[in-house]
Structure formats: C-alpha cells, structure tokens
Amino acid sequence: MGARRRVGRSTLATTALVLIVAGAGAGGGGGAARAEPPMPQIWDVTPGTPVGDLPDEAFVDPACGTNGGPPGLPVGSFENFARCRPESSGLREIWFRYDDEFEYIARAARDEDAVARSNAMVVLGQPVILSVLVDPAGLVQGYRIITDPHADEERRMYAYTVAIAFKARFGADGWACDQLAPGEGETPITGLFVKKRCRKVADGQEIVVESRYYYKPGQSLLDPNTGLPTVNQFESSARMQMVAVDAVRK
C-alpha cells in the first residue's frame, strides 16, 4: 500500500483547515455551512475488497482485533493482516479506528456542529469498536461493530438500543430472533431483561445482531455492603457482525 495510497495527516489537516477558513470567510460568521468531504465508513466495505484497497487515510492504526476488547498487536498496515491469529472461521480480525483529523480541526475552530458531524466513531451516540474480517487471500469478507464497554455510565446505559440501528441498516424483513434465557445470576434491570440474538441471510451475507441489558452475577443497583448506588455495574451492549457466507470455514 505505502505511498501509493497514503495521504499524510498533515495533508488532511491542511485540507480541513482550508475548508473551515473558506466556509467562515464565505459566510462571514460561525453559522456558515461547512464543506467537509464525506468520510469513508465501515458500511462501505463490501465482501471481496482487497485489504490494499481499504482507505488507509481514513481507517488508521490497524491492529489485531480482540472481538470487542482493546486492540492487540499493532500491524502498521492492513496488508500485514497475517501477523494476527486466525479465528476458528479462518478469518483474521483487524481492529482500526477512523481518522480524527477533521474532528480535531473542528475542535480547534470551536465549531460544535462540525465536531458532532466529524465524530464518526459513534452509532446513535454510542462509542463503538470497529474491525474488519480478512481471509487468508487478503480479501475483506466482513466486519464487526461493537459498542464500547468503556463508555461513560450515562451513555452506556442505552448501548443495547443500538441493535435497532444495526438491524435497520439491513432492512426490517427476514430476521430470525431469539430471546435467550438468563444465565445463572443474571437479573433484570428495573424489570427489563434483554439478551437477544437476531440473524439474517441476504445477498450472500450473514448478519448477526446481538443486544444485552441486565445485571451480571454480583451486580446490582445498590452496593450490598454500603447501600450506596453502584457505578457502571451492569451489562448494556450491542454488536453486529456481517460476513460473506461462502468465506467462513465450515
């Protein structure tokens, strides 16, 4: 990939700054329209895309994925995907994040509207963890989006609702959903227990969406020792995986 596709962060910063300044000059005020170019999204990645064709100026800091956990071994480039251990499916998970240059410039310009538009690492206001799934031939065969378990409590409380947006992305029809039984020690939060798994196969792709909302064993609203409210002691999450049906090792 290298210099063939690489656009330096300084170039992006200069471009963004020019756009902000030009927008402010044309409108003569903070309410002027901004002309930020559209940012590539994980939704745009289709099965069969070579890793060398991923937009490495927008998808940055690739590392071995940990299925919703923190990034593992940094690999420097998506083309170094083979450094990561394959999953049982034969695919390798490569974690990445969106480039934050435009958000950084918007914050420097104190343009809150532009900051909100540029913060792409969220779905329905929830911080998310992104990764692509790569086959042994170096073709991207799917991706994962998982709500970030380290989000602040007030925001994370509603993370499970992001599953609605995940499903809507692939259409309302054709989903087969199961409400799973509580595991030992899992209890409802204020009367609500969500442990759902939905699956859909369409256009040669399998999409699985999961949502969780409950207390794990030992968690509760109040600390049994002090009687005080607990902090971030609950499970609330959503995750989505899309993968090409023919790409998974049987």
**What pLDDT is stored for residue 112 in this prediction?**
56
Q: Is pLDDT of 154 > 60?
A: yes
Confidence grade of residue 236 (pLDDT, cut at 50, 70, 90): very high
**What pLDDT is stored for residue 109 in this prediction?**
54
Q: Give the global pTM.
A: 0.78
Q: Is pLDDT of 84 > 90?
A: yes
Per-residue pLDDT of 59-80, as tens digits, reads: 999 999 999 999 999 999 999 9
Q: Is pLDDT of 32 > 80?
A: no
Confidence grade of residue 242 (pLDDT, cut at 50, 70, 90): very high
Q: Which domain holds residue 111?
A: 2-247
DSSP code per residue over the chain: -HHHH---HHHHHHHHHHHHHHHHHHHTSTTSPP-PPPPP-GGG--TTEEGGGS-TTTEEEEEE--TTSS--SB-SSGGGGGGSPP-TTS-EEEEEEE--HHHHHHHHTT-HHHHHHH--SEETTEEEEEEEEE-TTSEEEEEEEEE-TTS-HHHHTTGGGHHHHHHHHT-SSS-EEEEPPPPTT-B-BTTB-EEEEEEEEETTEEEEEEEEEEBPTT--SB-TTT-SBPSS-SEEEEEEEEEEGGGS--
Confidence grade of residue 56 (pLDDT, cut at 50, 70, 90): confident
Number of domains in the chain: 1
**What pLDDT is stored for residue 36 in this prediction?**
58
**What pLDDT is stored for residue 159 in this prediction?**
96
Per-residue pLDDT of 93-148, as tens digits, reads: 999 999 866 555 555 555 555 544 555 557 778 999 999 999 999 999 999 999 99
